[in-house]
Amino acid sequence: MKEAAAPLREAWYYAVPGRKLRSRALLAKTMLGEPLVIGRDRAGAPFALRDICPHRGMPLSAGRFDGHAIECCYHGWRFATGGQCVAIPSLLPDQDIDIARIRVRFYPVREVQGNIWVYFGTDPESAPEIPRVEDFADAAPRLVETVAFPATIDHAVVGLMDPAHGPFVHRAWWWRARGSIHAKEKEFVPAPWGFTMRRHPPSANSRAYRLLGGAPQTEITFRLPSVRVEHIQAGRHALANLTAITPIDERVTEINHCIYWTAPWLSLLKPALRPYVRAFLRQDRDIMARQQQGLRHDPALLLIDDADMQAKWYYRLKREYARARAEARPFENPVTPRTLRWRS
């Protein structure tokens, strides 16, 4: 587990909802311990640069952006959205400095289904694809909630896929009671860059699913580096939860929960749904904050079969991906089909 502790760099990470990026506005954000300035140019295309002017270290996000170039607030150096320097106001016409050689690091950026993703490696074409939520074409999420967890990327991901903590952490009248714990059995199969829990009826003690009516069926997929997509079909309507985990630094991780739906009546309930989503995420945040009190002593940890098998798969997937990239060979999914059984 310690060997795999660092986040994968050859991967796409969720940055912000697309609606947060207004034209000609700049957004400062730390991801993977690196300062970024994210924006949207006049044509509507998102971009991301290292948020440090190479002249005197001023954050570029403190400057002005006209839709074409960012102007540093300290000395007015200007940088195009591709990172190249395009103007240094203090230069005289006869001073021979090739400003085209001055650059700020540029990060590949993509906008997919209303979300902005940033790439931190060197070869985005060979990385796991940004997941698309089935049945929603290019629609943006109807509801997005973001919460910072005081945890490393690995503990946040393992907490995300942990199937046994629900009756103890998420006890609520609208979700589960501790006494509702019972035996479960789910089929898992390998999926691109991860694994899938095959489509099945939601657990009888998951009360929130009753809002959808009918006989809902759910399928849950995990994909590297840290994305979980739950797709629920209820008659002719669909609802999907995309949860993307982004490391901010070595101690803080951001959980981004995006909800898509097709049922019009759910939009009417949106103001009422948001507090429950926030409460659910804060329960996970609070339990991880308590966990840090033990983890700071660097204890040896124990993962068991079957309840912790998804966590074991995560570490194996992450290790195999890192090795495959280092050895310049194809990724070989270490997950094999298996039925897991646990109580929750």
The tens digit of pLDDT for each residue in 171-228 reads 776 565 667 788 999 999 999 999 999 999 876 645 556 566 668 899 999 999 999 9
The tens digit of pLDDT for each residue in 242-276 reads 999 999 999 999 999 999 999 988 998 899 889 99
The answer to whether the predicted template modeling score (pTM) of the entire model surpasses 0.85 is yes
The residue behind tokens 């400062």 is 28
Amino acid identity, position 292: Q
Residue 9 pLDDT grade (very low, low, confident, very high; cuts 50, 70, 90): very high
> Among 163, 54, 32, 172, which Cα is nearest to 104's?
54
Q: Are 166 and 178 in contact (CB under 8 A)?
A: no
Q: Are 13 and 249 in contact (CB under 8 A)?
A: no
Write down the pLDDT at residue 177. Answer: 64
Write down the pLDDT at residue 29. Answer: 98
Determine what percent of the chain is predicted with pLDDT higher than 70.
93
- Give the residues across from 111 on adjacent strands: 116
* DSSP code string of 171-202: B-TTSB-GGG--EEEEEEEEETTEEEEEEEPP
Write down the pLDDT at residue 176. Answer: 57
How far apart are alpha carbons 344 and 341 in whole angstroms?
A: 10
Q: Is the peptide bond preceding residue 225 cis, with omega within 30 degrees of 0?
A: yes
Write down the pLDDT at residue 321. Answer: 96
Token pair, residue 73, equals 């607030």
Backbone angles phi, psi at 296, to 5 degrees: -65, -15
Please give the average per-residue pLDDT across 47-66, as a whole number. Answer: 98
> Among 206, 200, 178, 202, which Cα is nearest to 188's?
200
C-alpha to C-alpha distances, 43 to 22, 62, 67, nearest whole angstrom: 12, 22, 8
Q: Does residue 133 carry a pLDDT above 60? A: yes
Token pair, residue 311, equals 């966590």
Token pair, residue 207, equals 């009360």
The tens digit of pLDDT for each residue in 84-94 reads 999 999 999 99
Token pair, residue 238, equals 């669909």
Mean pLDDT of the chain: 92
Token pair, residue 3, equals 């060997």
Residue 287: helix, strand or coil by DSSP?
helix
How far apart are alpha carbons 92 and 207 in whole angstroms?
A: 70
> Among 19, 227, 255, which Cα is nearest to 146's?
255
